[in-house]
Amino acid sequence: MDEKGYCLDERAVRFERMLPGPVERIWAHLTESDLLPVWFGGEGMAYRIAPREGGAMRLADGHIRGVVTRWKPPHLLSYTWNVFDGDETESAHPESNVTFALEERGDEVLLILTHRPIQPAFEGRTLMGWHTFLDLLSQMLAGRAVEKRETAMRRNAGLYDVKLPSE
């Protein structure tokens, strides 16, 4: 904050990816409980995004929880993002927001992911994580074999200078 009491610096992560369309197919991969685990990771875990503004969002067995803030199928999805450890009922981490915007470009779709605000201590891990998830989503949508999340995560950790627990 400056002496006037405001701050113009909000740290955000933003990725853009061109994906094979149609847009409705990509929307399904971002919102449907049976498709989310394949690219987000954690097959066998429960995923649910209520299809409406104000609906609950739970990813990876509730490790990530939030509320849908924008639901404009098939072009705009936003939700709050809270990380919970174990059976916590209140997150020890700051809340942030994730937005997926989809723009049709002929036979392809531009996906723009924005996650904000990002605390400086979490920048590298957030970049690594979203880069990995989008790699897996791209592989899935292109009809290629989806690599193991751990393999992609390890590769992308080097891009963002992240030390993984087993290193």
Give pLDDT tens digits for 61-88. 888 999 999 999 999 999 999 999 878 8
Residue 58 lies in a domain: yes
Quote the number of domains for the chain.
1
Asked whether residue 55 is assigned to any structural domain, the reply reads: yes
| Domain of residue 54, CATH code | 3.30.530.20
- pLDDT score for 123: 92
Where in the sequence is the domain holding 24, given as residue range(s)? Answer: 13-159
Q: Judge whether 5 lies within some domain.
A: no
> What mean pLDDT, rounded, does the chain reach?
91
User: Is residue 117 within 8 Å of 12, Cβ to Cβ?
Assistant: yes
The pLDDT tens digits for 21-61 are: 999 999 999 999 999 998 887 777 899 999 999 999 999 88
Number of Cβ within 10 Å of residue 48's Cβ equals: 15
**Domain annotation covers residue 6:** no
The model's confidence at residue 8, banded by pLDDT at 50, 70 and 90, is low
Residue 41 confidence (pLDDT): 76
Whether 4 has a pLDDT exceeding 70, the answer reads no
Classify residue 166: in a domain, yes or no: no
Q: Is 66 exposed, middle or buried (0-12, 13-18, 19+ CB in 10 A)?
A: buried
Let me know if residue 165 belongs to a domain.
no
| Domain assignment of residue 164, yes or no | no
Report how far residue 125's alpha carbon sits from residue 130's, in angstroms, rounded to the nearest whole number.
9
Distance of CA 111 to the CA centre of its chain: 12
Picking from 48, 95, 66, the residue whose alpha carbon sits closest to that of residue 40 is 48
Residue 74 covered by a domain: yes
Q: What angle do CA 125, 91, 47 make, to 5 degrees?
A: 70
